[in-house]
Structure 1
């Protein structure tokens, strides 16, 4: 008896020594600690705030029509349907992985005609007899090392990431609608200024033509007037096209045909959000940006995949049970006199698989490193986007203040030119030349206001666009190791 036990032990030792091994394989990626990404210097001159953008941040821009458009886009845009379908697909995959952890129970039966050998003449007429059986089976692959649970957790992590991605798609869509709406408002302002410039150029041309007819000016001044009129007509056409383009962009974002865009009324002048960022931006931003949360979930899922892949190197235990009734011959279809059953526990251990398990684990390690790299890239981009948007808004504010001084000076010059004309000191043609400078200043100011509104929306989006993790979407904590604690190398 001892010899048998010794032989079994020796055989098991050799088997374990020669089995497939995961030794030497490991991921290299390390997620960046958000607190290590310094932004205090870049945001030193920005007012601090504990508030983050609200989920319905667009209502603070002061235009009810914009509120309606964003609500319509969130309800009808086909892009969101794609994101939602992917989320449901990922949830289904998690359900399949969870089901794989559970025991399975099956029942079955059969009724067939069987030809009986002539050596057994008593089992039916003409050597043909009915063969019938019913059975029930039970199987359970026991998850000794937690591999199946890890695979389920990985699929669950991917499902969470898909849910967050769907939220991110909604945030991006609402921001794009607001930005297109800003462009529509700016296009209308451009059209107004282009019409005013065309009227000014036409009036100036008419006065020049009168002066040429009177012999005061020559054809050179008249041709310059013709050029100004043609240029103003071209600018008016550009502005009209900009309105059409903005309406078309909104139609696409709303998920509607082009006629829907033409129904949108002229936007009101939006009120950009005040410049402020939360106190501890780098750390807190991780939980307020949907793309960062989704990337972190991908890292978490990839770590679980590694654990599941490592357990494939270890012995596997399964239990199978089958029982049933069987009969051949007999007139009564419901009579099954013979009974059978089997209980079959089994143990399997990979010895040689041509490197398949190691290749699979190496792929999972690479997938983890890729997920970490993408998370780090997303996190770095997120923090820098906020800093860049803040810097852009500060610059635009300085430009707007300087342009306001230029606009005020141009307005004063136009008033003086009108006064001189009425007093008979200067000509109206000279006054129209000053009027042209005023229109140029108004165009630049309108462009800066549109840029400020657009940049404010971009800052809101960079700060998360009002994202708050829903149930089950909270950011998973980084794991100390992606390796399963119980996974000993075979």
Structure 2
């Protein structure tokens, strides 16, 4: 007969067991002195003020007020619109970003599956000889038999300490970061196409300037030859005038080379070799000016996809730290099985071969050589790196926007001065040619005036191209009209917290 313990002894035994379990838990959950130390930069630390009522987002035409993310429509150029659409559809780099997003989304589904009950089936059929010197008595021991097992096994990890929850949150953060990075790649691609298109237009306008210069020099050469024939000038002036003509032709050929290279760059961006060959060569005056307001509200940086992606990386790293902490606590699973097991396959499906079982399974780390603490330190370091990467992205974005705003405003002022200078140079050139034609001036005056005119014409084209290019760059720097996807949380527009 079994001897029952006195009631007091039972209580003492229970208390000792509880105390021992508490000590084991305390020892296993030693996470002291391991934490992230990096700090997120906020708007105040960046010298930014609260957002005013007006927005600095690129404006679009009144005919399409709902497509502000397609800021390039404001240029009013159908060829550019088509090129950007084709680039977004087929550019390989953008497809790579989309593939990374699909992989991250698949990882979320895989992580979520770990939080659900798991059931699998097994069928084992074996022919084996049983040992005669083991636990099996004769006649089973020493005989050759066929055994079979047909069974369903199930398990469900009870997430008492949040291990699965934090793993899912980390996977969602990574997927949201991948989504924002794919959007950032799309915005960058659109801006690169627009800037390449502006460069193509600039080169065509410069080619037009060079062709106009060639025609102008041929007219001057004709005038010089007439004056030489009349004995009013010498061969020196004739050779000076004639030498300027091949120089102009060389400039024309140089611009044609650059135009073809610019077209190749556009073809590569849209992933269609020869795509630009069927297009009409663009001109700068065929692109309208975008309306961009000069103020930069702090919350506008929350509309940049790259900053949102960096914030999601911080969110994912924060969840990884929390998940590393849950590794210190017990793993509690509910396991069950049901099926058939028999010696002799013909007995496998008989009622006497039924078997089942159900119960909890608990796994507790007691001594693991510092592996869990090392893992937690690594995750804390990853969080520090994610935070500092976010800070770097924010600082670069602030500088980027400030630079582009400065360029847009400065170029506009430069254009005013350049137009005045060009008007004066054109007038001076006409006077010089008239005076030379009338015999009141010399050919050096014409050459000097022509040089000034040529420089101003080229400068005018370059400034017009820079004005458009800086507007594209500012549109990109301001986020390109990006908004978080509807199925993501507000973390893309707020600063994440970390332990």
For the aligned pair, the TM-score class normalised by the smaller chain equals: 0.7 to 0.9
The answer (yes or no) to whether the contact 2:123–2:148 under 8 Å persists in 1 is: yes
2:327 aligned with 1:312, yes or no? yes
Aligned with 1:256: secondary structure?
coil
After superposition, where does 1:355-366 map in structure 2 within 5 Å? 355-366=370-381
1:30 is aligned, of 30, 35, 39, to 39
Query: Are residues 197 and 474 of structure 1, via their aligned partners in 2, closer, same or farther at CA, if it must alter by over 3 Å?
Result: farther
**Aligned match for 2:270, one of 243, 254, 258:** 254
Residue number in structure 2 paired with 1:486: none
Please give the root-mean-square deviation of Cα atoms over the aligned residues, in Å.
3.0
Following the alignment from structure 1 to structure 2, what is the Cα–Cα distance between the partners of residues 345 and 417? 101
Is the Cα contact below 8 Å between 1:197 and 1:232 reproduced in 2? yes
Distance 2:289 2:147 in 1: 82
CA distance in 1, matches of 2:163, 2:228: 93
* Equivalent position of 2:344 in the other structure: 329
Instruction: Look up the match of 2:54.
Output: 49
Paired positions, count: 474
**Secondary structure at 1:156 match in 2:** helix
Partner of 2:62: none
Measured after TM superposition, the shift of residue 383 of structure 1 is 1.9
CA contact (8 A) 2:220 2:241 kept: yes
Q: C-alpha separation between the residues in 1 aligned to 2:83 and 2:239?
A: 47
The reply to whether residue 295 of structure 1 matches residue 286 of structure 2 is no
CA distance in 1, matches of 2:37, 2:346: 70
Equivalent residue for 1:467?
Answer: 482
Q: Does 1:65 align with 2:79?
A: yes
Q: 1:76 to 1:6 in 2, by over 3 A?
A: closer
Give the Cα separation in 1 of the matches to 2:49 and 2:21: 61
Alignment of 1:446-465 (within 5 A): 446-465=461-480
Distance in 1 separating the partners of 2:282 and 2:238: 39
1:388-427 maps to which residues of 2 (within 5 A)? Answer: 388-417=403-432, 419-420=434-435, 425=440
Q: How do 1:9-408 and structure 2 match up within 5 A?
A: 9-16=18-25, 18-19=27-28, 21-39=30-48, 49-50=54-55, 52-53=57-58, 54-115=68-129, 127-205=143-221, 221=237, 224-225=240-241, 227-257=243-273, 259-268=274-283, 269=285, 270-277=287-294, 281-282=297-298, 284-329=299-344, 331=346, 334-335=349-350, 337-408=352-423
Give the whole-Å Cα distance in 2 for the aligned partners of 1:185 and 1:239. Answer: 11
1:412, CA displacement in angstroms? 2.1
Q: Is the 8 A contact 2:181 2:305 kept in 1?
A: yes
CA distance in 2, matches of 1:23, 1:341: 44
Q: Which runs of 5+ in 1 are unaligned?
A: 484-490
- Retained in 2: the 8 A contact 1:25–1:362? yes
| Equivalent pair of 1:137/1:323 in contact (CA under 8 Å) | yes
Of 85-94 and 98-107, deviating more is: 98-107
TM-score norm. by structure 2 comes to 0.86
Partner of 2:63 in structure 1? none
Aligned counterparts of 1:429 and 1:286: Cα–Cα separation in 2: 56
How much does 1:175 deviate? 0.7
Cα distance 1:161–1:13, how it changes in 2: closer, same or farther (>3 A)? Answer: closer
